[in-house]
Chains A and B, each alone.
Chain A
Amino acid sequence: MALQPAAGARDLNPVQVGGNRRLRERLAEVYRLWGYEEVAPPSVERLDTLQAGGGIADQDVVRLAAEEPLGLRPEFTASIARAASTRMASRPRPLRLWAEGPTFRAFMGDAGGQRISEQLQSGVELLGVSTAAADVELIRLLLACTETIGLEPCHEPQLLVGHHGLLSALLQRLPDQHRTACRRALTGFDPLALAAIPLEQAEQAQLQALLRLRGAPARVLMELEQHLGASPLLTELATTLELVRPAAERLGVQLQLDPSFQPHFDLYDGIVLKLVCRGAAAPVDVASGGRYDALVGRFCTDAALAAGVGFAFSIEDIRELLSGNAGSKDTGRLVERPLLVAYGQPDGLAAALERLGGLHAQGRAAELHPEPIGSQREAEAVAFSRDSQGLEWLG
Chain B
Amino acid sequence: MITVALAKGALLKDSVRCLAAAGLDFAALLDSDNRQLMVPSPCGTARALLVRNADVPVYVAYGQAQLGIVGEDVLREHQLPVAPLVDLGFGGCRMAVAVKASSGYRRAADLPAHCRVASKFVRCAETFFNQLDLPVELIHLTGSVELGPITGMSEAIVDLVATGRTLRDNGLVAIEDLFHSTARLIGHPLALRLDQGQLQTIIDRVAAARVEAR
CB distance B194 to A192 under 8 Å?
no
CB distance A282 to B189 under 8 Å?
no
- A190 CB within 8 Å of chain B: yes
Nearest A-chain residue to B187, judged by Cβ: A189
CB distance B192 to A283 under 8 Å?
no
Q: Contacts A282-B63, A283-B63: A192 and B190 contacting too (C-beta < 8 A)? A: no
CB distance A281 to B194 under 8 Å?
no
Count of A-B residue pairs with CB < 8 Å: 49
Q: B85 to chain A: which residues have CB within 8 Å? A: 191-192
Q: How many residues of B contact A (CB 8 A)?
A: 22
Q: Tell me the residues in window 69-92 of chain B with beta carbons closer than 8 Å to chain A beta carbons.
A: 78, 83-87
CB distance A189 to B194 under 8 Å?
no
| Choice from B83, B122, B123, B194 contacting A283 with Cβ under 8 Å | B194
- A387 CB within 8 Å of chain B: no
- A256 CB within 8 Å of chain B: yes
| Choice from B63, B184, B193 contacting A281 with Cβ under 8 Å | B63
Cβ distance B53 to chain A, nearest Cβ, rounded Å = 14
- A60 CB within 8 Å of chain B: no
Q: Tell me the residues in window 194-214 of chain B with beta carbons closer than 8 Å to chain A beta carbons.
A: 194, 196, 200
Q: Tell me the residues in window 190-206 of chain A with beta carbons closer than 8 Å to chain B beta carbons.
A: 190-193
- B179 CB within 8 Å of chain A: no
CB distance B83 to A276 under 8 Å?
no
Q: How far is the CA of A279 from the CA of B142 in the complex (A)?
A: 35
CB distance B190 to A214 under 8 Å?
no
Nearest B-chain residue to A214, judged by Cβ: B193
CB distance B184 to A192 under 8 Å?
yes
Q: Contacts A110-B78, A281-B63: A188 and B194 contacting too (C-beta < 8 A)? A: no
- A376 CB within 8 Å of chain B: no
Q: Tell me the residues in window 129-164 of chain A with beta carbons closer than 8 Å to chain B beta carbons.
A: 158, 160
Nearest A-chain residue to B194, judged by Cβ: A158
CB distance A261 to B63 under 8 Å?
no
Q: Which residues of B contact A (CB under 8 A)?
A: 62-64, 78, 83-87, 122-123, 184, 187-194, 196, 200
- Identify 12 new A-B residue pairs, CB closer than 8 A, beyond the known A188-B83, A276-B194: A188-B189, A189-B189, A189-B192, A190-B83, A191-B86, A192-B84, A258-B193, A281-B63, A281-B64, A282-B188, A283-B63, A283-B188
